[in-house]
Amino acid sequence: MKDYRFTKRLARLCQCLCLCLAGMGMPSAQAQPADDFSPAALTQLPGANWATDGGDLYNRRFSPLTELDHDTVQGLKGVWHTRLRGSGAGPQYSGEAQPLVYDGVAYVITGADDVFAVSIESGEILWQYVADLPPEMNTVCCGWTSRGVAMSEDHVYVGQLDGQLKALDRATGEVAWAVQAERWQEGYTITAAPLYVDDMVIIGFAGAEIGIRGRLKAFDANDGSLLWTFYTIPAPGEFGSDTWSDGNMLWQYGGASIWSTPAVDAELGMLYFATGNAAANSNGSHRPGDNLFTASILALDLKTGEYRWHFQQVHHDIWDYDSPNPVILFDIEID
């Protein structure tokens, strides 16, 4: 998936952060209980906090707060303006991240993978983490960007363009642990926000345009040890491998990037995510078949990463349609 639309429009979001209020009081920053990060709590709609990329584990991105509506929106005004010290200001960067807010602090990541903790009350930068991405990195598709971070009671989790996954101390920004989840030299990058759930950090990898084999990985949130891996292109003999050509090695570089953060149904113990295009995205002559699991929605067992079911939205995608948007879970009554 190639999309440069955000680069010029949103680059300024990497350089500054603004807060607007509709003439109302701020929620006070109070100590929050640890179970705010339990699966049960993260399934609820957010209130004063926004502790996961999708607002909740269902990715609903909806706030039940009522202070801002059709009548009060006209009263919005800036109350502070903070510059993020030039991070992500170059032409290759874009600002696409959803900030997290918890206990009076906003956690913001720029296209350079630098993370800032900013006071909601004053706009003061409380701490900064500098990613120091390798300038020679030349395997990034579609602009240097990050779509967000994850957090737990103690840590902020950062997936970097250079394939590293890091846990930062939430109070100081110091690196608590770091793992080389995949190598950028082999075409793997991380642009999606990680997902924290039930002491796991789950992250997908991009790079189909470079010729990767897509994958989703789960790591122990406390020490970064690998728990499981699910490959979005099946190996020979695995379910779905018959949707690729026999006798070639396309399964090793067939694509199916993961551009967005998964959704979770904690009650069912299942995780849901979408995949991107096959490689090459507009020429399917070398890959006859449906090419699972490209351009698909997948459901996995949350604890083990085992396949449960899939729905392929585009068979044999040669139009770069893919599935870049996050899965959203909801209940519906059918008569």
- Measured between alpha carbons, how far is residue 122 from residues 30, 74, 170, 214, 231 in Å? 16, 22, 18, 42, 44
Distance between CA atoms of 334 and 179, rounded to whole angstroms?
46
- Token readout for 323 is 């599935």
69 is catalytic: no
Three-state helix/strand/coil letters over the chain: CCCCHHHHHHHHHHCEEEEEECCCCCCCCCCCCHHHHCHHHHHCCCCCCECCCCCCCCCCCCCCCCCCCCCCHHHCEEEEEEECCCCCCCCCECCCCECEEECCEEEEECCCCCEEEEECCCCCEEEEECCCCCCCCCCCCCCECCCECEECCCEEEEECCCCEEEEEECCCCCEEEEEECCCHHHCCECCCCCEEECCEEEEECECHHHCCECEEEEEECCCCCEEEEEECCCCCCCCCHHHCCCCCCHHHCCECCCCCCCEEECCCCEEEEECCCECCCCCCCCCCCCCCCCCEEEEEECCCCCEEEEEECCCCCCCCCCCCCCCCCCCCCCC
Query: Annotated catalytic residue: which of 56, 114, 317, 320?
Result: 320
Name the CA radius of gyration of the chain, rounded: 20
Tell me the catalytic residues.
320
